[in-house]
Amino acid sequence: MQTFGKVGVLFGGRSAEREVSLMSGSGVLAALRSKGIDAHAFDPAERSLAELAAEKFDRVFIALHGRFGEDGTLQGVLEQLGIPYTGSGVMASAIAMDKIMTKRIWLSHGLPTPRFICLDNDASWEALEKTAIELGLPLMLKAPHEGSSIGIAKVAALSQLQAGFDECKKHDDVVLAEEFITGRELTVPVIGSGRQVRALPIVEIRAPQGNYDYQHKYFSDATQYLCPAPLDAALTQRLQELAVQAFKVLGGAGWARVDFMLRETDMAPTLLELNPSPGMTSHSLVPMAAKAAGMSYEDLCVAILQLATLHTATPDQEGTPHVE
């Protein structure tokens, strides 16, 4: 087995997704240790960046979710410290964490994503009403820099619009209003970098009443997961290819999870978002897809760690190859 040296597992953090990150990181830490890897826990919410530098990690596994963990800020610190890390680099992480910028880049490459409108968090009722007319009801409101279904509201009637908007703007300085797509909810994990990126089996998510919220995502046993998703071979291939393309045009590297809706009326796939540091809990979808591909949770963690790199490395930085 490759020698990884001293490995830091970064989890916890100070985002709204701290609770999920603690679960993810604990799982990753145990998995790496079970493989004989010298892995150590590090919580950036409890320890300083000076302590991170002093640990002299040879590489780190980022199991942080949300702001200050998967939004490019920590990736920039690790670049400065010269510590190879898992996942995408600074720019790709920052873009993927911003749902609005992600959609703009996908659209510029001709990739399908639901129609949307960006609202300032001081938008008037008239602006909200106009948005509802343009996008139609129901519609989705989202805090564009949050994940794990935090800061999200489904608006089925005008009477719900103001309350949904007020809830979402608590989490961000803008609110993403998005066309609601009725259909099947799917996700496609991808792993690898450059030409070696490949898609794992597709997972279909069937939540009670179609409500895949925070509770159903991480704690409920009522949500059904079908993996591999019951799709014909041609559609499966199309979705996996689209996931890889969506990952690459954002500059993604290492691993990620690409979320889709499959529209009920014509079975057309549409991209919702890309998660650059997906969950690794017992309910998480990437380990589920890896298992369907014959890869254990422990082997998945090692495979992701093997891809740790610096994204701005110069040729003379041994062991830290640049990833295109």
Q: For 7, phi and psi rounded to 5 degrees?
A: -110, 130
> Given a cut of 90, is residue 148 above it in pLDDT?
no
Q: Is the pTM of this model over 0.75?
A: yes
pLDDT at residue 236, rounded to an integer: 98
- Find out whether 88 and 80 touch, Cβ atoms under 8 Å: no
Q: What is the pLDDT of residues 98-146, one digit of tens each?
A: 999 999 999 999 999 999 999 999 999 999 999 999 999 999 999 998 8
Q: Is 170 among the domain residues?
A: yes
- pLDDT band at 283; cut points 50, 70, 90: confident
Range of the domain at 152: 116-179
The domain that holds 149 is classified in CATH as 3.30.1490.20
Q: Are residues 128 and 107 in the same domain?
A: no
Q: Are residues 266 and 154 in the same domain?
A: no
**Domain count of the fold of the chain:** 3
Q: Is 319 among the domain residues?
A: no
Measured at the CA of 240, the angle between CA 239 and CA 244, to 5 degrees, comes to 115
Q: Are residues 133 and 213 in the same domain?
A: no
Q: Are residues 209 and 69 in the same domain?
A: no
Q: Are residues 50 and 197 in the same domain?
A: no
- What residues are annotated to the active site? 17, 148, 218, 257, 259, 273, 275, 279
Q: Among 159, 179, 199, identify where a domain stops.
A: 179
Q: What is the pLDDT of residues 179-235, one digit of tens each?
A: 999 999 999 999 999 999 999 999 999 987 655 444 544 445 778 999 999 999 999
Ordered DSSP codes for 151-219:
SEEEE-SGGGHHHHHHHHHTS-SEEEEEE---EEEEEEEEEESGGG-EEPPPEEEE-GGG---HHHHHT
324 burial level (CB within 10 Å; 0-12, 13-18, 19+): exposed
User: Which range, of 12-26, 203-217, 271-285, averages the lowest pLDDT?
Assistant: 203-217
Question: CA 49 to CA 134: how far, in whole Å?
Answer: 46
Q: Are residues 101 and 136 in the same domain?
A: no
Q: For 33, phi and psi rounded to 5 degrees?
A: -65, -35
